A and B are shown apart, each in its own frame.
Chain A
Amino acid sequence: MIFINLISLFLLFYLKKNPGPTPLPEEIQKLFKWGMITAGVLIALGISNLPPQILYELISFVLVGAIIYLILNTPELEVQKNMAITPLPILGVQLLKYVVKTISVSTYENIENYLDAAGFFALIWAVTMWLNHRKQMKEIEIERIISKEQERQLRATAEQKNQLEVLVAERTSEILQQKEELQEALNHLKDTQEQLIQQEKLASLGQLTAGIAHEIKNPLNFVNNFSELSVDFIEEIEDEMTKIADCPEKENILELLEDVKSNLGKIRHHGSRADSIVKSMLLHSRGGTGTKEPTDLNGLIREYANLAFHGMRANPNPINVDIQLKLEEQLAKINLNSEDFSRVILNLVKNAFDAMREKIVKEGGEYKAKVEIRTQDLGDKVLIEVEDNGPGVPDDIRDKLLMPFFTTKKGTEGTGLGLSITHDIIQSHEGTLEIESKVGEFTRFSIVLPKSNP
């Protein structure tokens, strides 16, 4: 009967060593320990042959039965169920032997051979079962390892995915930023293109007008010269007429001559108007012929702002204007064609006067006309601003301001070339002209010039 206890011991030992995928709870392990001790004691007792056989065998059966019961009823040992089944035939045979021996020894002796054979077969079956079970366990173990590996891979993949997502997010934001930068660059390009188109138009128009101006200039000179001459001649005739005796015919002749003289005066007047337009037009084509010299810009501004003011005061419809110069002192000399550039200052200041005159007429006494001229050192460039608090420029005409022959001035007051020429001159100095305005509040012309334009 020691054999049964060996089975018990083996079962417990095996299960303790190979508990399966889930670790065993503390209590079960404790039970295992006590089971093994009991089995060990029972084996020792069996060898010593001390206890009464029947009792000893009963206890042995109870122990192994308890172990099998434990295996079958512990969820953690689910996979080891086969281990409970393995020794069952052996135990069955042993139990049968035990029962038969207890009931009738003679019967037992009669069938002992059969029982031994059954025991032998049971042993073979048990060994087979156990080997089979071990194989299964190994497969389960391999499966477990595989699934663990898969899980690890899955986790690694997830981590990789996360990393990729972070990377993608980074790249996306980079691309978005680049897109914005590109968009900005594109907008800038579009602006520049529009400006270029506008400048191209102005340039070709400038060439055209210069060509026309030349063609008109000669006949216009004749008109002006001959009308002037004729006025002189009529005056001479009038002188001669004083030597002739008075008569009604003479009176009539003198009257008619006076009319002709007045008409010639008108021809002369409008001829010189046309002439000033032609001269302005010709200035367009002259671009860049003058020489540039280092010039005291502040001095030039003081001189020509003053000149514009006194010119305006001496002409019809003078206005009261507060001119404020906010010039950056210690401004280095700037390479300028001072003759051309003085026209820029004159034109801008005169324009301001004309605009403010309109506002004075409209608004009357409350309004105080003011022009502010500023210079500012921008490092390698210089900023010149001419700002008035006149009526302002509506958005829809701001683009047209620089076009030749565009004028807001009525009748014979403007040629429509002042700002166009101003723009040309600034361009020939490699500078830029910007117009900012708020209707009813101000108009500001900002010129940016490079200090060392060639």
Chain B
Amino acid sequence: MKILIVDDERDVEDLFRQKLRKEIRSGQLELVFAFSGNEALEVLGSENPPQVVYVFSDINMPGMSGLEMLEIVKSRFPQIQVSMISAYGDTENYNKAMKSGAKGFFTKPVDFDSLKKEIAALQGEG
């Protein structure tokens, strides 16, 4: 299963790769990273149909915000699930994300246990 993670912080890649090391090694998961909203849309558009089934995206990013990206992804690739990750656990962002069709809403620091559960559930569905 291919997952795309979008965050302007480059160390996020190391963190996710290390946290999900076992799942990646076992071939359960394949992680792709993008460091801006535009880059994420490029990644998704480079394959037809996109292999990515799940996108985790930060909200506060320079340029296109995570919420803007969410809307575009949902309109172009409705089959892809998107969850938001935000440092601000405020209700305003939460409501916006949910209204735009986000599947989940995680607050930083990301609780990887619940993230793994989320992925496992998705795999179960698949």
List the interface of chain A (C-beta within 8 A of B): 214, 217-218, 221-222, 224-226, 229, 233, 275, 286, 289
Contact = CB atoms under 8 A, between A and B. Distances in A.
A277 to B, nearest CB: 15
Given A229-B18, A229-B19, A275-B109, 4 more contacts: A221-B109, A226-B11, A226-B14, A226-B18
Contact of B88 (A214, A225, A229, A275): A214
A289 B15 CA distance: 32
18 contacts: A214-B88, A217-B108, A218-B87, A218-B108, A221-B108, A221-B109, A221-B110, A222-B11, A222-B15, A224-B109, A225-B15, A225-B19, A226-B11, A226-B15, A226-B18, A229-B15, A229-B18, A229-B19
- 5 tightest CB-CB pairs across the interface, nearest first? A221-B109, A229-B18, A222-B11, A225-B15, A221-B108
B9 interface: yes
A58 to B, nearest CB: 140
For chain A, what secondary structure do more than half of its interface residues adopt (helix, strand, loop), or is it mixed?
helix
Interface string B80-114: 00000001101100000000000000001110000
A214 B90 CA distance: 13
Interface residues of B, number: 13
Nearest to A275: B109
Nearest to B112: A225
B66 to A, nearest CB: 14
Interface in B4-32: 9, 11, 14-15, 18-19
Contacts of A217: 87, 108
A235 to B, nearest CB: 13
Nearest to B14: A226
B19 A218 contact: no
A218 B11 CA distance: 11
A120 B90 CA distance: 135
B21 to A, nearest CB: 9
Contacts of A218: 9, 87, 108
Contact of B109 (A225, A233, A289): A225
Contacts of B90: 286, 289
Contacts of B88: 214
Nearest to A286: B90
A217 B19 CA distance: 19
A243 to B, nearest CB: 18
A278 to B, nearest CB: 10
B87 A214 contact: yes
A289 B91 contact: yes
Interface in B66-88: 87-88
B33 to A, nearest CB: 15
Contacts of A224: 109
Nearest to B18: A229
Contacts of B109: 221, 224-225, 275
Contacts of B87: 214, 217-218
A286 B11 CA distance: 28
A58 B15 CA distance: 159
A233 B15 CA distance: 13
Nearest to B90: A289
A227 to B, nearest CB: 11
Contacts of A289: 90-91
B65 to A, nearest CB: 15
A289 B9 CA distance: 28
Contacts of B18: 226, 229, 233
Contacts of A221: 108-110
A289 B88 CA distance: 13
Contacts of A214: 87-88
A50 B19 CA distance: 169
B60 to A, nearest CB: 9
A289 to B, nearest CB: 7
A226 B18 CA distance: 9
A218 B86 CA distance: 10
Contacts of A233: 18
A187 to B, nearest CB: 42
Nearest to A217: B87
Nearest to B9: A218
Contacts of B11: 222, 226
Nearest to B109: A221
A226 B112 CA distance: 12
Contacts of A226: 11, 14-15, 18
A229 B112 CA distance: 11
B44 to A, nearest CB: 25
Contacts of A225: 15, 19, 109-110
Contacts of A286: 90
A221 B9 CA distance: 12
A155 to B, nearest CB: 85
Contacts of B19: 225, 229
B7 to A, nearest CB: 10
Nearest to A291: B91
A222 B9 CA distance: 10
A334 B9 CA distance: 45
Nearest to A233: B18
B61 to A, nearest CB: 12
B119 to A, nearest CB: 17
A424 to B, nearest CB: 16
